[in-house]
Amino acid sequence: MINKKLLISSSAKETIKASSILASELNVGLEISRLPFYKNINISQEEVIESLKEDLKDFHNRITVHAMFSDLNISTQDKELRKIVEKRYIQSYNCAKALGADTILFHTGNKGTLHYGSQILFKRNFISFWEDFIKQFEQDNIIAVIENVFETTPEYCIELTEGVNSNNLKLALDVGHVNLYAQETKVTDWIKTYGDKLYHLHIHNNFQKNDDHSNLNNGTLNFKEIIKCIKKYSNHPSFVFEMFTEEDIRKSLKIFEEIYQTA
């Protein structure tokens, strides 16, 4: 049963097709990241979708999608920039829907400014956009999840999702980002605070100096403690092994399964 909740990132291999073959072999799902728009920003959406479908035609496990995120901030005060962000979000959504993905992950776009007024405007603009955008997810029965990056407390993302107030907008937790950017807190504190709102996780490790995305044993995070906490406080979220080598993924899946059985 646990395999239905396990996925690997398509960044594990050089191509999405190669990553899908690996995921099939491991009997896990696949989170599509680094959508082809990055490689050729001028390629038509239709061509991108057809290319993705071709790469995944023999893949029959679960698919989720990591929406485009590089330099994107949906809460920007610049209206022209916001149009570009909206376009990238819609393109991500259309690709995900065409692939039959059940979950799409988005970054908040928050860069961690400590200016109080800017934070108020950020939250206001974020909620305003998502109140409308989430209607597509509700109509198509797709879940959107919001992932922490530079956020330093779990309450921040909770406030954003609760402000939108939709059953189709949930929380994703990137434990490596907490370890790097929120060092005054513990991952287990985030898990307890998120509770049943936690729907999706990115798991990887680091030494609190660089976003290494290394295997579960290669860093300062204690995954036995983390998994035990997840089993106690959360309602069976999905786990995406967001590592970028096959070796790290194979090693981490083995470590995870051993811990999960005993935690």
Report residue 168 as tokens.
């189709």
pTM of the model: 0.96
The superfamily (CATH) of domain 2-262 is Divalent-metal-dependent TIM barrel enzymes (3.20.20.150)
Looking at every residue in the chain, the average pLDDT score rounds to: 94
**Is 70 exceeded by the pLDDT of residue 2?**
no
**Neighbour count for residue 40 (Cβ, 10 Å):** 10
pLDDT in tens, 146-174: 999 999 999 999 999 999 999 999 999 99
**Is 60 exceeded by the pLDDT of residue 134?**
yes
Mean pLDDT of all residues in 223-239:
96
Distance (Å, whole) CA 168 – CA 112: 25
Q: 178 near 168, Cβ under 8 Å?
A: no
pLDDT in tens, 188-211: 999 999 999 999 999 999 999 999
Calculate ∠ Cα 198-202-205, nearest 5°.
125
Radius of gyration (Cα) for the chain, nearest Å?
18
Domain locations in the chain as residue ranges: 2-262
| DSSP code string of 113-130 | ---HHHHHHHHHHHHHHH
pLDDT in tens, 106-126: 999 988 777 777 888 999 999
pLDDT at 1: 43
pLDDT at 175: 98
pLDDT at 263: 82
Distance (Å, whole) CA 201 – CA 198: 8
